[in-house]
Amino acid sequence: MKKNWPILVVDDEEVMCESLAAWLREDGYTVDSAPNGQKALEFARTTDYAICFVDLKMPGGMDGIETMMEIHCIRPDASIIIITAYATVDTAIQAMKEGAQEYIVKPCNPQEISMLVSRILKLKKLQSENAILRKKLTRQYRHHDIITKNPRMGEILALTQEVASLRSTVLIRGESGTGKELVARAVHFSGSRADKPFITVSCAALTETLLESELFGYEKGAFTGASGQGAKGKFELAGGGTIFLDEIGDISPKLQADLLRVLQERRFYRVGGSEEIEVDVRIIAATNKDLAEEVKQGRFREDLFYRLNVIEIRLPPLRERREDIPLLAEHFVQRISSELGKEVNGISAEALKVLIAYDWPGNVRELENVIERAIVTCHDGSLDEQDFSWLQQGGQSQKWEVPDVSLGELERRAIVAALERKHGNVKEASTALGIDRSTLYDKLKRYEISH
């Protein structure tokens, strides 16, 4: 493994150069040594060094700082360790300013140099793992998880590609469970911001004050319980990347005004802060509400609506793209069965007919949950009609009396019952109800249900 991280030692003193190189070779590294800056650059052109030890003082020709700067031009990722016999603060500061990662005074303790090298390489390994994971993540969200042969969805995917590299705000509309966050991720990971953060905020899940500090951060002592030295908000954390504001239709008038200011000026204040913070963030918002109607009703600011609605993506409900149901069902069977470690061969044609005929009020999320439930309960390694028979019977197999109450009250009771069944676990209750968590939070607020 150490052979993958070649090291270069640059020093005009041959003894110094060779003895350090020999010591590092004993540790398993591939080491080259160069007697001057010119030779070091020749080596750097052909080998991607992880670490370069460069002596600060090399008389006649390039000195250590010049050599370091030239190596950095050729190999920007190489970590430079400046070696010097003179421990002066000025040279240390200069070396660090010019880009040296470390600065050591010779002779140093063997432990010091050993720890220094292993610390730098540990960081490099983490950086390279991080890059690999980012690449994987990027590939994962480049439409691979959006499975469709529906022409309208095809147009939407083409649109996400077109807008991916712009900074324009995107508003994604669609019923719960249609995959709004997946589309937002596809926009982010297909564009130039793919290697920057993608931060999700569920606006319906938090109260106004909590959401404000969540979005904009807060300064120490901004409010009771504002801990430590304050905290960065999601806008700061998303710096250079994308912030996804889910359930945007649920934010309070005050936050609507604050958000409008960020959209207009790309600046904001932390809660309790006096310093203006500039931010480069792409905003993608999503809602299952008809925002134009909310504007008409006076519940949503018109100016904010137009700022958000620069590019609008409307996701169709699953019942309007029934041709995708078999594809999605097969995809979920493969994924979930492998996640659960249960071998399932596939879905029978009869079972698919049941799935296609069903209306899917909870959309793709509901389909996913239904498939998971069927995989968990099936016994013979394949999913057939019986595994989905309860869908044909209107959702539940037992016939039950509909109480004489309003629709709202019925919904309230269903939520309370689901929470009781799931012992107050909101995530599990939302899955059982076939709605997403943020929608459940919204309804908990609306019906004033404590959980």
Partner 1 sequence: MNDLCLVPIGKVPAKALEWIENATSEWFPLPIRKMPVVPIPDGAFDAKRGQYQSVEFMKMLAQSVPPEACRVLGITDVDLAIPMLSFLFGQAQFEGQVAVVSLCRLHQEFYGLPPAEGLLRERTVKEVLHELGHTFGLVHCSDSTCAMSLATHIGLVDSKAEQYCARCGLHLVQRFSREGKV
Positions touching partner 1 (CB under 8 A) are 2, 13, 15-16, 18-20, 22-23, 25-28, 83, 106-111, 113-114
Tell me the closest approach of the beta carbon of residue 77 to partner 1, in angstroms. Answer: 24
Tell me the closest approach of the beta carbon of residue 29 to partner 1, in angstroms. Answer: 8
Smaller CB separation from partner 1, 40 or 83: 83
Smaller CB separation from partner 1, 82 or 163: 82
Selection from 327, 414, 419 nearest residue 364 by Cα: 327
Smaller CB separation from partner 1, 86 or 306: 86
Smaller CB separation from partner 1, 17 or 429: 17
Smaller CB separation from partner 1, 22 or 210: 22
User: How crowded is the C-beta side of 220, counted as CA atoms within 13 Å?
Assistant: 2
User: How crowded is the C-beta side of 69, counted as CA atoms within 13 Å?
Assistant: 9
Reading the block at residue 116, the tokens are: 């220094």
Reading the block at residue 56, the tokens are: 């600060």
Smaller CB separation from partner 1, 22 or 126: 22
Helix (H/G/I), strand (E/B), else coil: 395: coil
Smaller CB separation from partner 1, 22 or 133: 22
Helices (H), 239-380: 253-265, 291-296, 302-308, 324-340, 349-357, 363-377
Instruction: For residue 379, count other CB atoms closer than 10 A to its CB.
Output: 6
CB of 318 closer than 8 Å to CB of 367: yes
* Gap between the Cα atoms of 96 and 336, Å rounded: 51
Tell me the closest approach of the beta carbon of residue 19 to partner 1, in angstroms. Answer: 4
Tell me the closest approach of the beta carbon of residue 98 to partner 1, in angstroms. Answer: 22
Smaller CB separation from partner 1, 19 or 209: 19
Smaller CB separation from partner 1, 110 or 225: 110
Smaller CB separation from partner 1, 111 or 398: 111
Tell me the closest approach of the beta carbon of residue 120 to partner 1, in angstroms. Answer: 16
Counting beta carbons within 10 angstroms of the beta carbon of residue 136, is it exposed (0 to 12), middle (13 to 18) or buried (19 or more)? exposed
Tell me the closest approach of the beta carbon of residue 177 to partner 1, in angstroms. Answer: 50
Reading the block at residue 226, the tokens are: 């504002």
Tell me the closest approach of the beta carbon of residue 108 to partner 1, in angstroms. Answer: 6
Tell me the closest approach of the beta carbon of residue 20 to partner 1, in angstroms. Answer: 4
Cα–Cα distances in angstroms (integers) from residue 142 to residues 65, 149, 180, 189, in the given order: 43, 16, 14, 6
Per the listing, tokens 């999913």 go with 383
- Residue type (1 letter), 406: S
Tell me the closest approach of the beta carbon of residue 21 to partner 1, in angstroms. Answer: 10
The residue count of the chain comes to 451
CB of 90 closer than 8 Å to CB of 72: no
Q: 99: phi > 0 → left, psi -120 to 50 → alpha, else beta; which?
A: left
* Gap between the Cα atoms of 89 and 103, Å rounded: 10
CB of 153 closer than 8 Å to CB of 321: yes
**Phi and psi angles of residue 104, each rounded to the nearest 5 degrees, phi first:** -125, 150
Reading the block at residue 408, the tokens are: 């709202």
Tell me the closest approach of the beta carbon of residue 142 to partner 1, in angstroms. Answer: 39
* Gap between the Cα atoms of 26 and 18, Å rounded: 12
Tell me the closest approach of the beta carbon of residue 4 to partner 1, in angstroms. Answer: 14
Cα–Cα distances in angstroms (integers) from residue 129 to residues 134, 136, 197, 327, in the given order: 9, 11, 16, 33
Smaller CB separation from partner 1, 20 or 156: 20
